[in-house]
Structure 1
Amino acid sequence: MSPDAPVDVDTLLDELYALPLEQFVVARTAASKRIKASGDAVGAERVGRLPKPTVAAWVVNQVAREHPEEVAALVAIGDELRDATEDRDRSRITALDRLRRERAEALVGTVRKAGEVAGRAVSASAVDRLAETLTAAVMDPDAGAVVQAGRLSQALQHVGFGIVDEGGEPADVVTLHVVGDDGALGPARKGRRGSGSGKAGGGTKAGGDGSGAEPEPPEAEEPDPLAEAERAVEETAAEVDRLEAARDEADARAREASDAVGQVEDDLGRIEDELARLADERDEARARLEAARAAQDEAQSGLEAADDALEAAEERAAEARKARRAARRR
C-alpha cells in the first residue's frame, strides 16, 4: 500500500499543543497515525511518545500563543543581558533586569487578572509556574526558543546551575522542529561514531630441506573472509535483536507510566477546576453573608428605635390618663 500524502509535521505539532489539555492524548495518537501513514515511521514514533503537558506547561504554551509579541520581547531581553554581561556593563545589566521584571510582571499580571487561559481557569500555583518559566526563557536561549514555540511538556525554572523542570530535574529544552527535505520530525541531536579495530597476521619462519636447517612448519590455513563476515553479521544481528527487545520493553513501561501520569494530571486539572469553582462560590457566599449581616444590623437598629418610640408613647399615654383622673376630681 502506497503512503499517503506528506504531512506538515511542524503545523501538526502546533495544532496539537494548542488544543485543550484533555484532548492532547487522543490528538497525539491521531497525529502519530497520520504521520505513519505518510511514510514517516520514525517521526510517527517520536510524536507518539511526546509527553502530555502538565497543567502549568499547558498554561505557558497557551500564553505564548496568545501573547507572542510580549514573550518575544522578554526573550530578546535575555540576548541583551548576555551581551551586557559579556561586556561587564553593570548599569546596562541593572536597567535590563529591571525591564525584564516589569515586562514579566505585566504579562503574568494580565493572566492573573483574567483568571483563565483559553477558557480554562488558572490556579495561583500555575500562575507562579508561568512567572518562573518566563524568567527561565530570559535567562537561557534554548529555554526561550522552546517557550516561544509553545511546546513545553513541563514548566521551567532557572536555578544556579541552569534550567530545571517541575520535578527539579535538569530540563531538556531542545525544540522539536522539522528537519531534512523529507519533513521528518526530530530534535537536533549529536550522533556518536563507533570505532573498529583490525587484526594483523604474523610473518613466516624460514624452513629447511633436511640438510641441517630447521624444518619449515606447515603453512597456516588462510581464514575465509566470507565466513568471518557472516559470523560477524550473525553476532551483531543477535545483539541488535536483544537490544531491540529490551528497548521495546522499556518503551512499553514508559508509555504505561506516561498514561498514568496523564490520568493523574487530568484528575489534578479537574480538581483545580473544581477548586476554582468552589472559590467563586465561596466569594459569592461571603458577599451574601456580608449583605445579610448589614441587613440584620439595620433591622436591629430599626427594632431598637421602635422600642424607644413605643416606650415614649406608653409614657405619654400614662401621663394623659393621669391628667384625665385629675380633671375628673375637680
Structure 2
Amino acid sequence: MDLDGLDLDSAVGELYGLHPDEFLPARKGLAAKAKADKETGLAKAIESIRKPTAAAWAINQLVRARPDDMERLVELASGLHEAQEKMDGAAMKTLGRERTKLIDELVRATAEVAKAGGGSLSMPVANQVRETFVAALATTAAAEAVGSGQLTRALSYAGFGDVDLSEATAAPSPARRPALRVIKGEGQGFGRGRGRPTEPEPEPEEPAEPDPALLKRLAEAEKRSRETMSAAAKAGDALSEASDALETLDARIAELDTELKAARGERDGLVKAQREAAAANKVADRTLRAALAEVDQIRAALPDTDDD
C-alpha cells in the first residue's frame, strides 16, 4: 500500500486482506510508520486494530474475492425481512429453502477462498462461519457487518432479538463532520444612504451551561474506553502470540512423537537381533565344545610316538 497516504481506513483495508500470520508484523510496521510521521493518534488507532479470528478472516477473504456472493446474501436478507413484515407465509417458506441452500453454498465458497489464501477451515471454524451467515440473514446490521470485509470475530443468532455486534468489526475512522460557516444577512441595521431598515434579529438565547458532573463523568468514561481499548489490543496480541507459540509447540511435539515412534521401532529391532545373536552364540559355543572334545578323543586314540 502507499504509506504516504496512510490513514486508519487504508490501514484497516490493508490488514484485513492479509493472511493471519502476516497481520501482527504488518500492523506493527504501519504503526511505526505513523509514529515516524508524528501521527501518534493514528499510531495508537492502528495498534488497536484487532486481529480477526480464523472464521472472521475466512469470511473477510470471501467478501473481497467474491462480492457477488455477498450481494446474494444481502438480497435474500432483504427478502426475508420484507416477508416477515408482511407475514407472507408462502414467501417465508420459499425464502427459507433458499436461505438453507445459500448458507451451504457460502460455507463451501468460504472454504475454497480460505484454501486459496493459504488457510483452511477446521470443523469448529466451519461451524462458526455457518453461524455467522445465519446471523447475517437475521438482521440488516449483521448483514452490513459481514459485508464490510472487516469482521473481527464470528457472529451468532439465538433466533430472537438483535445480533450482538459489539467489537465485531474493525474500528471505523473518526466521523468527519462538515465545517460549519455563518452566513451573514445582507442589509442588516439601517441603510447607509440606500435601502430600508430591517427588522432587528432576535437576541440569541444563551446556551445552557453543561453540567460539570456530566462533563467529569464523560471524561472518566472516555479515559476508561481508551484504557479498555489498549488492554483489549494487548490481550489480543498476547492471545495471538500464545496461539502461534502453542501451534509451533504442538508441531514440535508431533515431530518428536514421530521420532520417538521410529526410535522405539529401531530398539525393538535391535532387541530382536540381540536375542537371535545370543541364541546363535550358544549354539556356536556348544558346537565349539563338541569339536574340541572330538579333537581330544582323536589325539588320545593315536599311538604314542615318543622314543623310549
Instruction: Please state which band the TM-score falls in when normalised by the shorter chain.
Output: 0.5 to 0.7
Q: Does 1:196 align with 2:192?
A: no
Conserved? CA contact 1:52–1:153, under 8 Å: yes
Q: Mapping of 1:1-330 within 5 angstroms?
A: 6-35=5-34, 41-112=40-111, 116-159=115-158, 160-164=160-164, 171-173=166-168, 176-178=171-173, 179-180=175-176, 196=210, 253-267=231-245
Q: Distance in 1 between matches of 2:150 and 2:136?
A: 13
Identity of aligned residues (%): 24
Conserved? CA contact 2:135–2:155, under 8 Å: yes
Between Structure 1 and Structure 2, which shows a larger proportion of strand residues? 1
Deviation, structure 1 residue 20? 0.8
Q: Distance in 1 between matches of 2:88 and 2:105?
A: 26
Q: Structure 1 residues 73, 171: closer, same or farther in 2, change over 3 A?
A: same
Q: Structure 1 residues 17, 111: closer, same or farther in 2, change over 3 A?
A: closer
> Which consecutive residues of structure 1, in runs of 5 or more, have no partner in the other structure?
165-169, 183-193, 198-231, 279-330
Conserved? CA contact 2:52–2:151, under 8 Å: yes
Q: Distance in 1 between matches of 2:222 and 2:138?
A: 39
Q: Distance in 2 between matches of 1:61 and 1:174?
A: 10
Q: Structure 1 residues 147, 106: closer, same or farther in 2, change over 3 A?
A: same
Deviations for 1:87-110, whole angstroms, at most 9, x for unmatched residues? Answer: 111111111121121111112134
Conserved? CA contact 1:7–1:38, under 8 Å: no
Deviation, structure 1 residue 85? 1.1
Deviation, structure 1 residue 263? 1.6
Conserved? CA contact 2:128–2:154, under 8 Å: yes
Aligned to 2:260: none
Q: Distance in 1 between matches of 2:233 and 2:247?
A: 20
Q: Structure 1 residues 83, 39: closer, same or farther in 2, change over 3 A?
A: farther
> Secondary structure in 2 aligned to 1:151?
coil
Conserved? CA contact 1:143–1:173, under 8 Å: no
TM score, norm. by length of structure 1? 0.54
Conserved? CA contact 2:153–2:168, under 8 Å: no
Letter in 1 for 2:44: E
> Which consecutive residues of structure 2, in runs of 5 or more, have no partner in the other structure?
179-207, 256-308
Deviation, structure 1 residue 70? 0.8
Letter in 1 for 2:244: D
What do you get for the CA RMSD once the two structures are aligned?
Answer: 3.8
Letter in 1 for 2:90: S
Q: Distance in 2 between matches of 1:124 and 1:111?
A: 13
Letter in 2 for 1:106: E
Q: Structure 1 residues 264, 91: closer, same or farther in 2, change over 3 A?
A: farther
